[in-house]
């Protein structure tokens, strides 16, 4: 059986630093690279970025929506991106933010976490807002295949507090309940659990306990305004759990592969002080 995702991610972060590079081929970036907003432009962009960045980062995070907008041809490119990352020995986190119940949740889990699927990744993102328990099929499929799940907890969008900071009947916030559930899923796992939280780099101060015993996927670094200093301030003693994600800041260095690599290495260097020993 494949080693658990948490153990594999811990090793990758120790070797390459805590950087996850986003593969976000949206129309504006294609234009910046001088590429058409077509499947051929998508393929050139996504594979160039994947091949350039894979050897230098702990993980790659393709955003599924930017591939899906081209229909089946775009999804085929996504399959190639995931296969290329796998061949390079780089972990992949597929950003799909799926959340449903019962057999539908199982279908998503099979699509993104079962190695038999052409869309299989090492981990996926998921939404808990039908109840954390609704993610049961995703969690169990991840356990069975050594995969990981990053669950939305504290995101940076301005609408988020309406849901995430709402209070449950027990008095905790919804975000706090999600974090508590993740602590339970990761209990006893060493060196790192496989079930992580998504926490934005620009959320500001929070009173939540962010140590879930698993990784913290932290988007928003770079072009969205997040800095390594913000990460240190927000995450405090949990900072060594952080897998910081940067997309546009790195991708704007393309299309030259060397420039993409250098941008990733600069970002990783800025994050180097975040990595401790757990």
Calpha distance 201→245 (Å, rounded): 9
Q: For this structure, is 97 an active site residue? A: yes
Strands 91-98, 59-62: pairing is parallel
145-167 pLDDT, tens per residue? 999 999 999 999 999 999 999 99
Task: Spot the catalytic one: 26, 80, 86, 97.
Answer: 97
pLDDT of residue 226: 80
60-85 pLDDT, tens per residue? 999 999 999 999 999 999 999 999 99
215-228 pLDDT, tens per residue? 999 998 876 778 88
| For helices 136-145 and 102-113, angle between their N-to-C axes, nearest 10 degrees | 30
Averaged over 106-121, what is the pLDDT? 98
Backbone angles phi, psi at 126, to 5 degrees: -145, 155
pLDDT band at 277 (very low <50, low <70, confident <90, very high): very low
230 has pLDDT over 90: no
User: So where are the chain's domains?
Assistant: 5-276
pLDDT of residue 273: 75
215 neighbors 182 (Cβ within 8 angstroms): no
Backbone Cα Rg of the chain: 18
Q: Which fold has domain 5-276?
A: TIM Barrel (3.20.20)
């Amino acid at each position: 059986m494949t080693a658990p995702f948490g153990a594999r991610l811990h090793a990758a972060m120790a070797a390459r630093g805590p950087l996850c590079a986003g593969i976000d081929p949206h129309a504006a970036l294609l234009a910046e690279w001088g590429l058409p907003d077509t499947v051929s432009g998508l393929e050139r962009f996504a594979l160039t970025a994947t091949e350039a960045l894979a050897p230098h980062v702990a993980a790659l995070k393709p955003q599924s929506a930017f591939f899906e907008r081209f229909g089946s041809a775009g999804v085929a490119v996504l399959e190639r991106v995931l296969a290329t990352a796998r061949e390079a020995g780089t972990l992949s986190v597929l950003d799909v933010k799926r959340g449903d119940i019962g057999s539908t949740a199982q279908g998503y889990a099979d699509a993104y976490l079962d190695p038999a699927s052409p869309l299989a990744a090492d981990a996926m993102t998921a939404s808990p807002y039908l109840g954390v328990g609704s993610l049961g099929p995703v969690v169990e499929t991840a356990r069975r295949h050594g995969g990981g799940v990053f669950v939305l907890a504290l995101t940076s969008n301005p609408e988020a507090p309406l849901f995430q900071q709402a209070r449950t009947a027990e008095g905790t916030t919804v975000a706090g309940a999600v974090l508590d559930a993740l602590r339970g899923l990761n209990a006893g796992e060493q060196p790192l659990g496989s079930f992580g939280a998504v926490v934005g780099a620009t959320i500001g101060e929070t009173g939540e306990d962010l140590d879930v015993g698993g990784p913290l996927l932290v988007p928003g670094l770079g072009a969205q305004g997040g800095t390594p200093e913000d990460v240190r301030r927000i995450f405090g003693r949990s900072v060594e759990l952080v897998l910081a994600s940067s997309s546009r800041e790195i991708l704007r260095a393309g299309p030259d592969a060397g420039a993409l690599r250098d941008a990733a290495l600069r970002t990783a260097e800025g994050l180097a002080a975040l990595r401790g020993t757990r």
